[in-house]
Amino acid sequence: MNETIATSLRTLDEAIGRLVRPDTFPLAIRMISPGEALPEGVKVPSQSMGEQWIVCQSIGVARRYGWAVAVGRKDVVCPLASIAFGFHAPNELYASGYAAQGMYCKDLTAAAKMEAEVWKFTPGKYEYVCVAPLNRANFEPHVVAVYGNSAQVMRLVHASLYARGGRLSSTTGGRLDCAELIIQTMLSDAPKVVLPCNGDRVFGMAQDHEMAFAFPWRYAAEIVAGLEGTHKGGTRYPITVAMRETVTMPKTYQEILKQLEERDGAGKS
């Protein structure tokens, strides 16, 4: 990794930490192509720990433990994520909606449509999903992801629109947010607001108050400039609230204060 990328990673991490203040580490995410070496120091669960993880679990570990993690075909035990990331090609049972019927959809027709519209990479295009905190990443990411509350995600939306204007467009199925976070962002080449799915909450420990925001790496400088610009313009986190006007006390409080002022005022005169 060259020094320019390293500097950009540090600058982005500092800006997000100072102006967004997320509770967990902002993440650098890179899809590793066949034949591409894994970055140095990355833990592969099946090799490093004799364990098998799934993508949302790996994201949770990276953003909470601060580990650099890579998962591929031999690691990912969730068939839905494995298909979405191209580690396995879909089969007929998957395409029929078998996994979604009953749990997420009332019948196979609806379930098959849900599976068909999951964001997917071409099978075999990539071998690993590599995830690391921005401040530990020693690779150029494809995607940057930040988990936060709705106000923190709002600030990142502001930042992404600061120079461009307009609106952001995101899709969600409330399921397979790993695909929405990474694959949707890469294939659409645009920032996305992502709703953590049930699996991310169960296995990735996403909390009820959390949302996620993802953007392509090429937006990094824009996000920094947008955070700085909107902060200077007065849109900030923590959110500034109206605290400077004289507040109105309950009637009983007003009566007590009136008596105190009358008493103390009379005593001084």
- Digit-coded pLDDT (tens) for 172-192: 999 999 999 999 999 999 999
Is the model's pLDDT at 269 over the cut of 70?
A: no
Exposed/middle/buried for residue 247 (C-beta within 10 Å: 0-12, 13-18, 19+): exposed
State the pLDDT at residue 266: 63
The mean pLDDT of 132-157, rounded to a whole number, is 98
State the pLDDT at residue 268: 62
Sheet holding 192-194, edge to edge: 69-72, 128-133, 27-32, 143-148, 211-216, 192-194
Is the model's pLDDT at 89 over the cut of 80?
A: yes
Which tens digits make up the pLDDT trace of 31-61?
999 999 999 999 999 999 999 999 999 999 9
Mean of the per-residue pLDDT values of the chain? 96
Q: Is the pTM of this model over 0.85?
A: yes
Domain, as residue range, for 219: 3-268
Domains identified in the chain, total number: 1
